[in-house]
Structure 1
């Protein structure tokens, strides 16, 4: 049970805005590569689908090392800017450059192209960790109040919705601005545009959180790695939340990787990628107040179950797209978007709760370690969505290509695209509902839910 904390802080509106704008980094770095990188490699650089899946996945596995390291470093940091903000600035100075280079390489194809993209994407993952891990640790240190953390994070989710809409709609629009599927030049222009957006948003978050309250945050944990991991192992709420996030984001990453293929080969128009993405992320902008009310009424665990069921229902219904056409596809993805909005808000709010409870229980500042581990494991595991989809495409006989040498895909590959976009993610997201029942952390003064059998 969460114990009440004295002196609950109210986070100023300016700080909420400053913190929220940093989500342009989170949303953009997840959305653009997740949406376009696999397609870019298979359809522009002639990289085999399975190898492209490995390239997308490998840097995320690196997160398992770098994210906990950054978290531990930020826990130990002492500066006039606080423990987290120096790292926000470091990420702002490195991530935009690395991101641009992913899509702006020399004219390579096949394995050499895969190696180049892989190295640049590894650098992107490292720079992203410098910003993202300390950034996610901050809400648990801004306020002790259980419900205020949800209110604070709804601001972040609104910015995530806006950023995801901008990146998920603007990036494909720029990438496809020269021809039906775009050109290498249009992809470079897209990368430059997104890099500028990243730099502005990350600097905005650094300056915008200058007055962020630190609610009596304890000193950083100076214990050994073995001691820290032993403590985390006994934190059942953290363990189940991490498992839950991994499973849910595996489904999301698989759908993102499949989206351009779904638009191109199921709906018959690569431009549909933008409209599908718009209806997916639109609910994030519109439904946050609704999900905050649902969480207050059903608690966060109940709200998570409702959100995951909506996500799964929409994904399942999308399987009928070949029968009912593009309008049906957009309606079903809209339902997925409503569920996805709730899933994202509950994940981040639950993580902030776990961080706050751990600090109150241990008297140590381990927000960075917890966030680093959570982000690393969730990011690394979810990246297998692109790999799984790439393997499905390879097994189905999908043929890699270049714009100058288009190919017609076999029927088996078209069917595999539909399965990868709908059937497999639906099974994964429904499994997450069962996992949610294992998470137990309640508001102050309320009994913990009974353990699920």
Structure 2
């Protein structure tokens, strides 16, 4: 059973560092990939969104297999580290290929996008699923898991935002901005180095803490038995409530990221330096969430705190885009107030990040709920199931972003300041409406999550008693 003792901060930092790769990947897929294949390579936004969604859903089916194999891995370094050491370098190579399609026709480029996207996402899973599965292994404490999970979000967002700062401040400073093909060469190289380096350094930094002989896995052999266990484990009631609720929040996240460049460049008309300020604002929101989540969780519990934060995020998102539609944004539409936008985004995003921190910590608590039912600890499988849903959600969100652009009649090769106001209004309206509908659906489901601090602690006592009786 994982210890309830507070973990050293150095271990938390090394553990969180591994999520830099996930943040860089999310930044690339959600912020730049759509606009790269659409505005740089000239493929229709709806087609690109559809291909990315198909690739991510196809790739997502590998996640439960990766989680189950990770749970079954037998080595002197434990169940997780071998995956981190093996996948890091191939991940960097495939990432470079994703942003460097060879000269070919549109059909060939679409196939290239699909294949490299599947491979890149699968390799990220081989790093992220074993890494995050260490959380419930490192600590069984209800609140310490939240404190540890914060570091994953802090470093994950830091990795993505650092690449965003590099992109807006260094790589895309020319006249073409994020439509400059040359900028993507430097972007892809540096992001690949960050992904590979962070995974390897994180694994080495945790090695002495987690490199122990894998516990015996008294399970049957054969592919059929493995799939039967996957089905039984992922049928856990708490897991199903949590992933169903998270699905809607993560669709919103994928939608928001995919439309980021369109909103910043065309709706809010940010200049290059203001793009950098925006990245700093986003990182500030992660720090705010990092600070406020533990006291909120301690006072209200994880579920109730997550619901409160979700409502706050939705309210301020509606205030921002509702103000645009009602002509209440100072200076809009020709010169909208950046300070007005920054203020509302700071509150909305701080709450959204805090909500996702709490929901990830709730997933760690599902491990013992399942263990009590099945007698198995399946950390890797549960988080792989969570990532399966997340990838599907991000793909759906990216697809929805492409559809919103199509419905808004948003032009290709658009120039900031020259887009018709009707198209901008359509972008704001469809985005706001989608976020609110999906957010309310997610909250209505999350209310049914059954694990509280009290039930978790009681479950730990029961499992410890059973373990002592068996020894």
Q: TM-score, normalised by structure 2?
A: 0.86
What is the aligned counterpart of 2:75 among 71, 76, 79?
79
> Is the CA contact (8 Å cut-off) linking 2:64 and 2:230 kept in structure 1?
no
Query: Structure 2, unaligned stretches of length 5 or more?
Result: 330-335, 459-471
CA contact (8 A) 1:66 1:126 kept: yes
Residues 66-75 or 285-294, more deviating? 285-294
Number of the residue aligned with 1:269: 270
User: Do the aligned partners of 2:99 and 2:185 also contact (CA within 8 Å) in 1?
Assistant: yes
Maintained 8 Å contact 2:3/2:139: no
1:87 deviation in Å?
Answer: 0.7
Q: Deviations over 1:121-149 (max 9, x none)?
A: 12111211111111121101111111111
The reply to whether residue 369 of structure 1 matches residue 381 of structure 2 is yes
- Aligned partner (choices 317, 320, 328) of residue 318 of structure 1: 320
2:428 pairs with 415, 418, 422, which one? 418
Alignment-derived partner of residue 92 in structure 2 = 96
Whether contact under 8 Å (1:315, 1:333) holds in the other structure is yes
Per mean C-alpha deviation after superposition, the further-off stretch among 129-138 and 284-293 is 284-293
**1:161·1:285 contact (CA, 8 Å) conserved in 2?**
no
* Distance in 2 between residues matched to 1:185 and 1:446, nearest whole Å: 52
Q: How does 1:252-291 map to 2 (within 5 A)?
A: 252-269=253-270, 271=272, 272-291=274-293
Structure 1 residue 170, shift from structure 2 partner: 2.3
For residue 391 of structure 1, the aligned residue among 403, 411, 429 is: 403
- Asked whether the equivalents of residues 247 and 428 of structure 1 are also in contact (C-alpha less than 8 Å), the reply is yes
Q: Could you tell me which residue of structure 2 aligns to residue 65 of structure 1?
A: 61
| 1:207-233 alpha-carbon deviations (Å, 9 max, x no partner) | 011133599986447352453244235
Alpha-carbon distance change, 46 to 410 in structure 1, aligned in 2, over 3 angstroms: farther
Q: Which residue of 2 aligns with 1:248?
A: 249
State whether residues 79 and 214 of structure 2, in contact with CA within 8 Å, keep that contact through their aligned partners in structure 1: no
Shifted more, 189-198 versus 162-171: the winner is 162-171
In structure 1, stretches of 5+ residues that fail to align are 449-453
For 2:102 and 2:17, locate their aligned partners in 1 and report how far apart those are by CA, in whole Å. Answer: 33
Cα deviation digits, residues 35-89 of structure 1 (max 9, x gap)? 1111112111111011110122122102332111111111111111110111111
Give the conservation status (yes or no) of the 8 Å contact 2:14–2:206: yes
Partner of 1:197: 194
Q: Deviations over 1:98-121 (max 9, x none)?
A: 112222223557443333222221
RMSD value over aligned CA atoms? 2.7
CA contact (8 A) 2:2 2:136 kept: no
Deviations 1:287-309 (A, max 9, x none): 31321110010000111011101
SS at match of 2:183: helix
Aligned partners of 1:216, 1:443: CA distance in 2, in Å? 31
Is 2:128 the partner of 1:132?
Answer: yes
